[in-house]
Structure 1
Amino acid sequence: MQNFLFNEYDRAHALKRGGGKQILSIDEHLPEAEAAMMDTAHLSDSRSYDLAWASNIVKRAWQQLQNAFETEGKAEWLEVLRPFVAGGGKTPLNQEEAATKLGVPIATLRTWLSRLRQRYREALRTEVANTVSDPADVDQELHYLYQILTT
């Protein structure tokens, strides 16, 4: 019995079989995936592609910011400031509440927001530049990205 338990433990933790990783059930995420498919079912193929492209650009730009802030040790700031810059699922605080939560004066918070918005614009520009062959097309593609996200 003891050998059986040791063997089962070894098998479960073998790197070859994804050892140490949490196993996720596809069934848990299936309703979300089906709902997402239904939301885009009425869109044309080109519109669906454009939305996927825009979503991917925005996610990668935000991930770039998250990585930079984690490196700087400011990841918690980014989560508080995100609704002011990129929107978000949760109800945003007002600026006074956010400043209190971060323990800074409102003027400092506004400076941080201005700098964060600038960094986000730069990250978006970088991600869009990675998708075009001609650097002169970056501004046009950024404008198109804005159109896709606002319609």
Structure 2
Amino acid sequence: MSADDKVSSLTALVGSAQHGAVAFTTTHWSVVLEAQGESPAAHEALEKLCRTYWRPIYAFLRRQGFRREEAEDITQGFFAQLLGRRSLSAVRKEKGRLRSYLLGALKYFLADEQRRAMAIKRGKGQRLIPLEDLRADERIEMEPANPVTAEMIYERRWALTVLEHVLSRLKDEYCAAGNAALFDSLKQLLPDEPGAPSQAETAAQLGMTENALRQAFYRFRQRYQSLLREEIAHTVATPGDIEDELRHLIAVLEA
């Protein structure tokens, strides 16, 4: 099963998470914004976010036509530069969302690297990254003939990465409590899971009553929704941004 298919079974849970509550205290992105990057805590918080959300950047580059190795190198270079800055004062609150900030920063990074590559080519003939002269056949090979833009790929990969990370956190919680088998069984009950057994079959396999299983699945869904809101909160600046970002995530997944 592909990563997209694996996560799509969770999207039915997203909508009901919109109106839940989450304690918005200190989150990774709010630390970066409040400190304007002038603290070790801000850099550590940004590094955590970047480690989690590099896949949308890579997906954007691949859709732009970069070969696998090029996209990997550019992704690494982009985050190395971003995290290597002594000051992150360019980060402003009006940027609001980590999702928007990273895409804008990447586009600026690409334009800057292209200018540098062209300048080097005019000079000593050396190039750091061949951004300006991908062969036409390579570009055609990497860009399927459909109207999906690199920005759309970035947005969808972003949404799926959020869901993947939430599911991973939920699994870790169940495993830490010694309930790995219960997690695997409850996950199979999610909508659109291929070959999903009935609740009666699952209850019998786990040695539970159907009522006990329903309660366990309810708690599973509730915790997933809570973790989703927490994850979203880590990528926005204020509590008021959470609902907007959740609505955006839903729209991207339904597109």
Tell me the TM-score normalised to structure 1 length. 0.69
CA pair 74-46 structure 1, distance change in 2 beyond 3 A = same
1:44 and 2:156 equivalent? no
In the other structure, the counterpart of 2:175 is: 70
**Equivalent in 233, 236, 244 of residue 129 of structure 1:** 233
Q: Is the 8 A contact 1:40 1:48 kept in 2?
A: no
CA pair 39-123 structure 1, distance change in 2 beyond 3 A = farther
CA RMSD of aligned residues (A): 2.3
Amino acid across the alignment from 1:128? I
Runs of 4 or more consecutive aligned structure 1 residues displaced over 3 Å after TM superposition: 37-42, 85-88
Amino acid across the alignment from 2:203? A
CA pair 39-110 structure 1, distance change in 2 beyond 3 A = farther
In the other structure, the counterpart of 1:81 is: 186
Identical residues among aligned pairs (%): 28
Distance 2:145 2:224 in 1: 27
1:52-106 per-position Cα deviation (integer Å, ceiling 9, x unaligned): 1101100110011011001000011111111323654x41111111111111000
Distance 1:72 1:127 in 2: 21
Q: Is the 8 A contact 1:61 1:124 kept in 2?
A: yes
- The gaps in structure 2 that reach 5 residues or longer are 1-67, 69-141
1:100 and 2:224 equivalent? no
Distance 2:145 2:218 in 1: 34
Q: Tell which deviates more after alignment, 126-135 or 57-66.
A: 126-135
CA pair 39-93 structure 1, distance change in 2 beyond 3 A = farther
The structure where helix makes up a greater share of residues is 1
Tell me the TM-score normalised to structure 2 length. 0.42
- The gaps in structure 1 that reach 5 residues or longer are 1-29, 31-36
Aligned residues: 115
Amino acid across the alignment from 2:224? Y
CA pair 98-58 structure 1, distance change in 2 beyond 3 A = same
CA pair 101-148 structure 1, distance change in 2 beyond 3 A = same
In the other structure, the counterpart of 1:8 is: none
Higher relative contact order (CA 8 A, sep 6+): 2
Distance 1:108 1:132 in 2: 37
Distance 2:145 2:199 in 1: 34
Distance 2:158 2:184 in 1: 24
1:145 and 2:249 equivalent? yes
Q: Is the 8 A contact 1:69 1:78 kept in 2?
A: yes
SS in 2 for 1:62: helix
